[in-house]
Amino acid sequence: MKATQKLHDLGQSLWLDNITREILNNGTLKRYIDDLSVTGLTSNPTIFDHAIKNSAAYDAAIIEGLRKGRSGEDLFFDLALDDLTEAADLFMPVYEKTNGVDGRVSLEVSPLLAHDTVQTIASAKELFARARRPNLFIKIPGTPEGLPAIEEAIFSGVPVNVTLLFSREHYLAASDAWLRGIERRIAAGLDPMVDSVASVFISRWDTAAAAGGIPEGLQNRLGLAIAGRTYKAYLDQLLNPRWRRAYNMGARPQRLLWASTGTKDPKASDLLYIINLAAPFTINTMPEGTLKALADHGNIGPIMAADSAASESTLKQFAQAGVDVDALAARLQDEGAKSFVKSWNELLGVIGSKSTALRQAA
């Protein structure tokens, strides 16, 4: 049995952190679903930037969009929704089999809106309505400005993948925003089953720590320690009386998702953030190369500890080494938002240059 199947059987969902028109057209995504136990998919501006820049597969759709007068962000979202609705249809059997717990795909609102609550809400509602797929998550960043948008989107019935979370505190703020939206739906007599996941980024912690010159014995340990601390908070939330009241009214828990799980350090295991983050009722969204490595030579060890004692001990060592985890979490979230803006601008630049070249060639 492949390690991907073992991990799935453990109770963790394996999602692919990638989308291209090629893997849709050539059957690769379908094969990952059938053979590698992939049950969902995430995307972001960087992924689409690479997909469109490095392929001619989008050219015909770009030409068609230009004929309709589409350009810029409007043209991009046309292309992205074409890909993600097709992917959503491939995952629909999983979605139906799990009664909506799994089988999801994600589309992010414009990163330019990360600090604009009102426009984020409007964009989330519009994109979900355009997709017409119940298994599409709209990704909203868990920035301070994003939290009210998450609450409002949930209240409006829009499933949300909360992105750019880096710490336990970020996670708790996101879960509280989700729950406020659910509680408002209950008070209004609306169906409270509006699903959400909270995406906590892992590997960037270790990249940042290494750049800060930490002792060799602490290399590649910070991200896992943050994950352990956050996982404990997640398990506590499942027992939270407010959550339980919502369950009694028909709500479903917000699931925890491990993101940024591709190993950045070439000296570390390519499965560092897969093997050590195995936990039931969570999701791990991984790059394509990491997924293939797991299927090829992965072994599943013990599941994550329910308590965070070992993680807290490690975090104490980082504090002694001069690492301020709270300050670093804030910095990582800010840098993550800026990184997506950079990719977004590059993506729109690629679409613009392709549009010009295709017009001239027509």
Please provide residue 277's backbone torsions phi and psi, each rounded to the nearest 5 degrees.
-120, 25
Write down the catalytic residue from 53, 68, 139, 354. Answer: 139
**Quick one: pLDDT band at residue 361, thresholds 50, 70, 90?**
confident
Q: Give the pLDDT band (50/70/90) at residue 11.
A: very high
Give the pLDDT confidence score for residue 1 in this predicted structure.
82
Structure tokens at 39: 């049950």
Tokens matching residue 67: 């004929």
Tell me how crowded residue 97 is: count the other CB atoms within 10 A of its CB: 12
β partners of residue 81 = none
pLDDT of residue 9: 94
Residue 29: per-residue pLDDT: 98
Give the confidence band of 174 by pLDDT, cuts at 50, 70, 90: very high
The string over 174-198, giving b where at least 16 C-beta atoms fall within 10 Å of a residue's C-beta and e elsewhere, is bbbbbbbbbbbbbeeeeebbbbbbb
Q: Does 139 participate in catalysis according to the annotation? A: yes
Q: Domain 3-361: what homologous superfamily?
A: Aldolase class I (3.20.20.70)
Confidence of residue 54 (pLDDT cuts 50, 70, 90): confident
**pLDDT for 84-140, tens place per residue?**
999 999 999 999 999 999 999 999 999 999 888 999 999 999 999 999 999 999 999
- State how far the alpha carbon of 123 is from the alpha carbons of 118, 138, 176, 261, in Å: 9, 9, 22, 28
pLDDT of residue 188: 98
What is the overall mean pLDDT for the chain?
96
Cα of first residue to Cα of last residue in the chain, in angstroms, is 51
362 has pLDDT over 80: no
pLDDT beyond 90 at 170: yes
The string of pLDDT tens digits covering residues 132-156 is: 999 999 999 999 999 999 999 999 9
Tell me what percent of the residues of the chain surpass a pLDDT of 90: 94
The predicted pLDDT at position 61 comes to 96
